[in-house]
Amino acid sequence: MFKMTLLLSALAVATGVAAQQPATPAGIEKRMPATPELKKTDGVYTFGNQKKPKVSVSELAEKGLQAKEVSKTVMSSRLNRAPFFKEIWENPDYEWKIDSVIGHGQDGNPTIRQTMEFDDRGNSRIQRNYVWDSDRNDWLLQNSEQIEWNEANSPVSNKVEYFSEWGNVGQEIRYNYGEDQMYPESADFYMLGEETGEWTHTQKSLWKYDANYFMTEEVIQIPDGNGGMENYSKATASYTSWGGVLSSEYFVWEDGAWIPTGLRISNEFDDMGHMTFWMDEIWTGEKWQGVSRIFQKWEGPNITYQSLEYYNPDNDDWHGFEDQVSAYASMSYDEYGRPVLEEGYYWDLDEDAWVHNINIVDEYEALEDGGYRNIRRTIYLEEDVVTNYIVWEYNKAGNVTYSHEDFRQTLSSPLMPLEETWAVYDESGQNVLEQCDYKFDGETRLAYIKQKNTWNEHGLPTESYFWNGTLYTTGEGEPDDWEYYTHFIYDTANGVEEGRWCYRWDGEEFLPAWANARTFDFSVPVDKCCYWRQTNLEGAKYMITSKRIYFGDGPDWAYEEGIYYNSRFGQTGIDTPSVKGSVKVSPNPVADRITVTGVDAGRYDIYSMQGSLLISSDSPVIDAGSLAPGVYMLKAGGQSFKFIKK
């Protein structure tokens, strides 16, 4: 959504920190890198809220792999580049649109109401949110959002207002475009004063882009006190054709000139999008000085070399400090691309030389079931001791079926077990049927977390149980004692999760905790529907028609429900009256007897989710005590309703 919180807006014009982190509408894909916070501690510059942690070269290698994956994702996303602000719909030929959502409690009393309007091209135009005022017996408008669009389907204004008896507040952003009408060149921000009731110009943002429409410059201006605007902060950046950040700098406006605010970042990439170099620099007041840098080398998808180096101004070298020494590692792989050896080095300040101090060795062996075992040893060479020993076993689908880790707290202490896991999968090797995780207290293995799951023929979960280790959790019991923790029931149809029910163990039985249940019109795929942008579809594949949020009320469930009203595009359906006569089952979940209301039928049938008729009754009060725990379908009078037998 194209709005910025009032808090962020206030910070953007009132604080020095905001000068380094210009506020930007949350809906704008802001490609300008965020500004780190610069600190100097004991003569060492660091960025962020904490000092850079000491990470092993192995961890740095992993970060390099992560960077590679990010680069791949960015490259992929640019293949179907969308305009900077522009709202692109997968299918412009909508048949349905959501008009309103009306919420009510279990007692049927209204609680909230949300209405949505669209223009004739499917762009979100007006959303209004209400709460029910029981004293006035009417809806009370709380806030609204209005968006105007140009011919290129890019927003030209976004106004958000909040209404109250004490006064209204709000914010409006007005976007200004060039000839393409798709990428804004600037935006003006206005605030509605609660006390004055007037709109005030509070900020102006000016943007520039490269040929690939990545933002290369962002200038923030604020009121100068004389009715005009003056420069406040600036960020600049450059990119590869696919969006990799090559450089970024930050400035503040002082005495009529842009002054570096203290940080510059530079990157280099190879032809595959892998990062090969990264450096951050600080502004000394006279020149840019490197602080830390990373070098990386790649062979295909594998990183073969990585270094992390810190600049020491006292020695004018890149060997680092006592608490931040420079380090590097080289990595090699087998014919399958699996790591086999990582050799780690650090710069010894006393010896003034590189020291080879760590080897990480991986060995592999085939298992009879088609999987393989991976044994990893971390060897501290200066003492010739194994500091970490891990065993993983994988099935033929590549998922872990067993793992065990031993570690050494100090170089003089023995290797001790740390944690252990084993898992059993279904025939596909992908879905976990049972898994146990253990922690160790010395040599004693303690039950930690256990789970059991069942799956349907489509690979979707139907039921899950979770246990906690009693001794580990409470300090009482035996090492292998387990106690129930939660129980989940999943209700799915047409590949969509319609309900998730969570029960929590109270020491004697499972009691309702929380649940979500939704209904869909499976005849209308979601790509045929036009939704307001922040409507949460939660993975829906078809048009959503209702949602219930349940919460435990002792042994029973209470809920709040939202009904989604949809109409054919081009028609008006706002405030469509609630459909009466829908079949309802209570209580739900049920222990024994259930009562059906909302339909007058001569026959009430209960089916399994596989379609088997289990119970048929001519009375709306039905004895369901013989049913096993699970999800069932009740059909009556041409209508149907799902319920849970606990």
pLDDT per residue over 207-254, tens digit each? 999 988 889 999 999 999 898 999 999 999 999 998 899 999 999 999
Closest listed residue to residue 564, CA positions, set 584, 577, 547 = 547
Long-range contacts of 135-143 (CB under 8 A, 24+ apart): 139/110, 139/113
Contact 471, 517 (CB under 8 A): no
Angstrom distance (rounded) from CA 530 to CA 91: 9
Average of per-residue pLDDT across 612-630: 85
Contact 487, 465 (CB under 8 A): yes
Give the pLDDT of residue 182: 84
Q: How does pLDDT run across 385-416, given as a tens digit for each residue?
A: 999 999 999 999 999 999 999 999 998 999 99
Average of per-residue pLDDT across 91-116: 86
Write out the E strands in 408-443: 416-425, 432-441
Instruction: Give this prediction's pTM.
Output: 0.71
Give the pLDDT of residue 167: 81
Name 219's Cβ contacts closer than 8 Å, sequence gap at least 6: 205, 206, 207, 231, 233, 234
**Is the model's pLDDT at 612 over the cut of 60?**
yes
pLDDT bin (cut points 50, 70, 90) of residue 424 is very high
Give the pLDDT of residue 537: 66
Angstrom distance (rounded) from CA 322 to CA 329: 19
**Is the model's pLDDT at 643 over the cut of 60?**
yes
Task: Indicate the range of 94-98, 437-441, 519-523, 585-589 predicted with least confidence.
Answer: 585-589
Name 57's Cβ contacts closer than 8 Å, sequence gap at least 6: 306, 308, 327, 328, 329, 342, 344, 345, 358
Give the pLDDT of residue 603: 81
Give the pLDDT of residue 92: 58
Q: How does pLDDT run across 568-595, given as a tens digit for each residue?
A: 876 665 554 333 345 677 887 788 888 8
Q: Who wins on pLDDT, 594 or 304?
A: 304
Give the pLDDT of residue 147: 94
Handedness of CA 158, 159, 162, 166 (dihedral sign): positive
Name 120's Cβ contacts closer than 8 Å, sequence gap at least 6: 570
DSSP state of 533: T
Task: Indicate the range of 219-233, 507-521, 620-634 predicted with least confidence.
Answer: 620-634
DSSP state of 291: E
pLDDT bin (cut points 50, 70, 90) of residue 3 is very low
Average of per-residue pLDDT across 271-294: 92
Residue 121 CA: distances (Å) to CA of 149, 279, 570: 10, 46, 10
**Is the model's pLDDT at 646 over the cut of 70?**
yes
The structure tokens 């940080």 sit at: 263
Q: Who wins on pLDDT, 6 or 248?
A: 248
Task: Indicate the range of 46-60, 286-300, 479-493 predicted with least confidence.
Answer: 46-60
Which range has the top average pLDDT, 439-448, 451-460, 540-549?
439-448
Give the pLDDT of residue 582: 53
Contact 1, 160 (CB under 8 A): no
Give the pLDDT of residue 354: 96
Angstrom distance (rounded) from CA 609 to CA 463: 13
Task: Indicate the range of 220-229, 362-371, 597-606 predicted with least confidence.
Answer: 597-606
Angstrom distance (rounded) from CA 513 to CA 503: 5
- What percentage of the chain reaches a pLDDT higher than 70? 82
Region at 317 (left for phi over 0; alpha for psi -120 to 50; beta for the rest): beta
Return the HEC string of 449-492: EEEEEEECCCCCEEEEEEEEEHHHHHCCCCCCCEEEEEEEEEEE
Average of per-residue pLDDT across 340-359: 95
Give the pLDDT of residue 192: 92
**Is the model's pLDDT at 187 over the cut of 50?**
yes
Angstrom distance (rounded) from CA 552 to CA 539: 25
pLDDT bin (cut points 50, 70, 90) of residue 610 is low
**Is the model's pLDDT at 491 over the cut of 50?**
yes
Give the pLDDT of residue 638: 64
Which two tokens mark 558? Answer: 């209470």
Angstrom distance (rounded) from CA 132 to CA 120: 30
Give the pLDDT of residue 24: 29
* Complete domains list, the chain, with CATH: 585-646 (2.60.40.10)
Handedness of CA 411, 413, 415, 420 (dihedral sign): negative
Mean pLDDT of the chain: 81
Which two tokens mark 333? Answer: 């792989």
* Residue 357 β-bridge partners: none
Give the pLDDT of residue 19: 25
Give the pLDDT of residue 298: 95
DSSP state of 287: S
Give the pLDDT of residue 87: 39
The number of beta carbons lying within 10 Å of the beta carbon of residue 71 is 20
The structure tokens 């810190």 sit at: 310
Closest listed residue to residue 309, CA positions, set 325, 297, 331, 322 = 325
The number of beta carbons lying within 10 Å of the beta carbon of residue 45 is 20
How many residues are listed for the chain in this entry?
646
Closest listed residue to residue 342, CA positions, set 364, 358, 365 = 358
Q: How does pLDDT run across 114-144, given as a tens digit for each residue?
A: 999 988 888 889 999 999 998 888 899 999 9
> Half-sphere exposure of residue 57, counting CA atoms within 13 Å on the CB side?
29
